[in-house]
Structure 1
């Protein structure tokens, strides 16, 4: 059985609208709002530091939206070191939330938050962070090499987080296993990426355009809300696809074992 895109999307919708999905939407939206505040605070701090170093008047920076503008409407006046430290902390926290969400959506029991979702969470999150760093470096190199290699790597790394969260794979192993799984299901994975991207565009672009006339703080909050809902849906869809791919791989392995 090859990866069924329709089944993955149906599972994603069912998971998103379930008690478990709504719980994660609420948590991810709260986290997203906090992350937006911190990231905009860091942007403000960096712009203020640049303005100070260049001796640029605050009024000139504000006119350009550098700080106090709509682009940083939710930002707080924090020291740059504090904003940077909070950014790193939220990166780790966001990774932990993603791991827990993946494990929860892979769980078939009735509990919205199964106890197994937090097993060995700290080492798993550290592995996930390491994998994220390696992927970021490789993707950056790939996109510098005429873009196409970066796109190829982005597709091949499609299941890395699921490998870390559900298979307890190490950094290198998770990258390798993702490449192997995607290679065996390349048509389904590419189709799934295209369909989910198209769905996201259809839903978010009109709403995003409608928010352009709103105050900066409301626009930022709305963008965060839509982004986090899409994130939860994406986690559910990719986790379903990963489980399909793993089940197919196990079935193939069992058939080969029976032949000997």
Structure 2
């Protein structure tokens, strides 16, 4: 039975606008604003880590959808240190978000989701993210189709790392098995999400054309945070749907795993 794209997108949206989803939007919004203030020049666009393209899996890049960030103009050394700190915080929050979204909890974020095996998960996300990025890049260099095939096949490796306490190698292997038989439909889901992201980006970017830069920046960054949380929620719900279709028990972060 093929995965229902409409159901997955709908579930992802519902989790995004629930209390927990809104809390994560607020957290990522604050991170993106702080990152914008610490940029070395006002011409750089503010981004958070690519959700599935590298370490952190944070909200989708805001590039191209916001005016100049109001940089405080710190020195390169201070900027680098602050950016590193914000990157680490983003990884921690993203792990907590995935662990929350795969459960049925919508009103309260368990504290354990930000503490359990955090160093192990974070290191695997960083190392695995580098290897994942190189692998996908090689696939795209030879031909676009192999790159897309690898992207879809290995897409959920980070969920296995964050949620199931697996290392990135196990995550790659299990993602390959999980997506088997569903890759074409998952590719279609990716296209739908990309279209939604484009429309939302345009909608939140339009005010920046007529409003002062600072207001346009604030509005656009909120759109970026919303898209990022929607992406994470949809990924988590897709993961749960695929598990249920494989006749596996639903994911639940139990106390013993904390």
Judge same fold: TM > 0.5, yes or no. yes
Greater Cα shift, 130-139 or 18-27:
130-139
**Corresponding residue for residue 224 of structure 1:** 221
**TM-score relative to the length of structure 2:** 0.78
Asked if 2 retains the 8 angstrom alpha-carbon contact of 1:143 and 1:149, the reply is: yes
**Corresponding residue for residue 106 of structure 1:** 102
User: Number of residue pairs matched?
Assistant: 227
Asked if 1 retains the 8 angstrom alpha-carbon contact of 2:12 and 2:233, the reply is: yes
Alpha-carbon separation, structure 2, partners of 1:90 and 1:189: 31
Alpha-carbon separation, structure 2, partners of 1:45 and 1:187: 39
- Where does 1:1-260 land on structure 2 (aligned, <5 Å)? 1-38=1-38, 40-41=39-40, 43=41, 72-109=68-105, 111-118=107-114, 119-251=116-248
Larger radius of gyration: 1
Alpha-carbon separation, structure 1, partners of 2:43 and 2:212: 22
**TM-score relative to the length of structure 1:** 0.77
- Cα RMSD after superposing both structures: 2.5
Greater Cα shift, 206-215 or 225-234:
206-215
Higher-helix-fraction structure: 1
Asked if 1 retains the 8 angstrom alpha-carbon contact of 2:28 and 2:225, the reply is: yes
The alpha-carbon deviation at position 187 of structure 1 amounts to 2.7
Structure 1 regions of 5+ residues with no counterpart?
A: 47-69, 253-260
1:200-254 C-alpha deviation (Å, 9 max, x unpaired)? 22222143234223333222222211011011011111100001112222449xx
Asked if 2 retains the 8 angstrom alpha-carbon contact of 1:12 and 1:233, the reply is: yes
